[in-house]
């Protein structure tokens, strides 16, 4: 009798576990194996070239290759150069957009910046001209500089503390700026200054475009490693809650909107191709990092400086594609019953 009821309780517990976790969990062994296989497969690949329009990025060792994956239950897998710090670059655009949504709601992003793909390169001025600064998105430079200008604060320091705080909370540790990259980009970012000024001329930046461009440049210079980025991606995969620190950094209701913009425009003018191949909302940076999110399953990041013509890391794209395929990460892949 006792044995019988224990058996029934066991069955009930198993049934409940199956009901509350409809998404198949990723085991540590499978994740480790997939990361290692991707690293082995692509470490010798020599395609692409470091970004050189920011002089400090051209100097980074092109051989660096690190991959991190964090599951929604906080399991961490890494391979390769995972402690190597590099500048986050455009991946920061996701987290500053998240900060604005937290503070001011999603409509400010929808109406004040836009959520449509431009189909143009990330620093296109033609894209701004086409709709007089409208119909942008927060993941290309004009929309991103406008988004940074929307973070509230009386002083630049106050705004900066919020931006850095959001990034750090998602990474689960205090992040810092790479001073060399910040200086290098500040010395050479005349094009972004012009974009900021143009967005101001069209009224999409209300005030102080120079400050917005400077803070944007600073956010792009935040130093991260592949594990930090994987944790940031996993925070999104886990509905805005950091899976290790357990802090609810971003309200869950905003996360689907963030992922939608990433799916639309995360890899610039190659976003459609990327979504076709992987189904994953993702974001790249010219420092060589890419994050991708398998909602409810895992966040993944890879770092390798050489980029393709669209400005996306060649090895990072290939590695994430292979790993996600192995771990069944594509959220657009329905299963027949």
Chain residue at closest Cβ approach to ligand GLN = 90
Q: Is 225 in the site for ligand GLN (CB under 6 A)?
A: no
The helix (run of H) or strand (run of E) holding residue 215 is helix 209-220
Distances (CA, A) of 158 to 89, 136, 253: 21, 26, 25
Q: Is 90 in the site for ligand GLN (CB under 6 A)?
A: yes
Q: Is 285 in the site for ligand GLN (CB under 6 A)?
A: yes
Q: Which two tokens stand for residue 248?
A: 């609810």
Among 220, 250, 261, 322, binds ligand GLN (CB under 6 A): 220
What is the gyration radius of the CA atoms in the chain, in angstroms? 20
Q: DSSP letters along 243-311, please?
A: TTT--B-S-HHHHHHHHHHHHHHTTGGGHHHHHHHH---EEE-TTSEEEEEETTTEEEEEE---B-TTS
Among 80, 114, 306, 311, binds ligand GLN (CB under 6 A): 311
Is 71 or 312 the residue whose CB approaches ligand GLN more closely?
A: 312
Q: Is 286 in the site for ligand GLN (CB under 6 A)?
A: yes
Among 192, 225, 294, 321, binds ligand GLN (CB under 6 A): 192
Is 229 or 286 the residue whose CB approaches ligand GLN more closely?
A: 286
Q: Is 50 in the site for ligand GLN (CB under 6 A)?
A: no
Letters for 238-277 (x = contact with ligand GLN by CB under 6 A, - = none) are: ----------------------------------------
Q: Is 313 in the site for ligand GLN (CB under 6 A)?
A: no
Q: Is 181 in the site for ligand GLN (CB under 6 A)?
A: no
Is 65 or 268 the residue whose CB approaches ligand GLN more closely?
A: 268
Closest CA to 60 of 78, 68, 48: 48
Shortest Å, Cβ 86 to ligand GLN: 11
Provide the 10 A C-beta neighbour count for residue 162.
Answer: 18
Size of the site for ligand GLN (CB under 6 A): 11
* DSSP one-letter code for 91: G
Q: d(Cα 254, Cα 234) in Å, to the nearest integer?
A: 15
SS3 assignment, position 317: helix
Q: Which residues of the shown chain bind ligand GLN in the complex (CB under 6 A)?
A: 89-90, 122-123, 141, 185, 192, 220, 285-286, 311
């Amino acid at each position: 009798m006792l044995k019988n009821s224990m058996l029934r309780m066991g069955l009930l517990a198993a049934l409940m576990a199956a009901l509350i976790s409809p998404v198949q969990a990723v085991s540590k062994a499978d994740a480790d194996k997939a990361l290692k296989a991707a690293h082995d497969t692509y470490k010798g690949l020599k395609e692409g070239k470091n970004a050189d329009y920011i002089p400090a990025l051209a100097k980074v060792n092109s051989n660096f290759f690190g991959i991190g994956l964090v599951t929604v239950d906080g399991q961490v897998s890494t391979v390769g150069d995972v402690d190597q710090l590099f500048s986050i670059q455009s991946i920061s655009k996701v987290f500053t957009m998240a900060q604005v949504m937290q503070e001011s709601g999603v409509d400010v992003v929808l109406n004040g910046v836009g959520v449509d793909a431009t189909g143009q390169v990330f620093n296109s001025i033609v894209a701004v001209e086409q709709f007089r600064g409208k119909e942008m998105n927060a993941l290309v430079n004009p929309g991103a500089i406008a988004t940074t200008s929307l973070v509230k604060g009386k002083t630049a320091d106050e705004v900066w503390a919020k931006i850095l705080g959001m990034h750090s909370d998602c990474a689960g540790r205090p992040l810092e700026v790479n001073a060399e990259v910040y200086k290098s980009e500040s010395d050479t970012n005349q094009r972004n200054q012009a974009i900021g000024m143009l967005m101001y001329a069209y009224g999409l930046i209300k005030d102080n475009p120079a400050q917005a461009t400077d803070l944007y440049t600073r956010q792009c210079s935040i130093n991260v490693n592949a594990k930090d980025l994987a944790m940031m991606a996993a925070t999104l995969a886990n509905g805005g809650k950091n899976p290790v620190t357990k802090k609810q950094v971003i309200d869950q209701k905003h996360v689907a909107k963030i992922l939608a913009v990433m799916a639309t425009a995360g890899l610039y003018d190659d976003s459609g191709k990327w979504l076709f191949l992987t189904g994953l909302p993702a974001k790249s940076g010219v420092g060589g990092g890419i994050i991708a999110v398998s909602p409810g399953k895992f966040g993944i990041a890879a770092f390798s400086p050489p980029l393709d013509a669209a400005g996306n890391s060649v090895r990072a794209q290939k590695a994430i594609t292979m790993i996600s395929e192995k771990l069944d990460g594509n959220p657009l892949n329905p299963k027949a019953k």
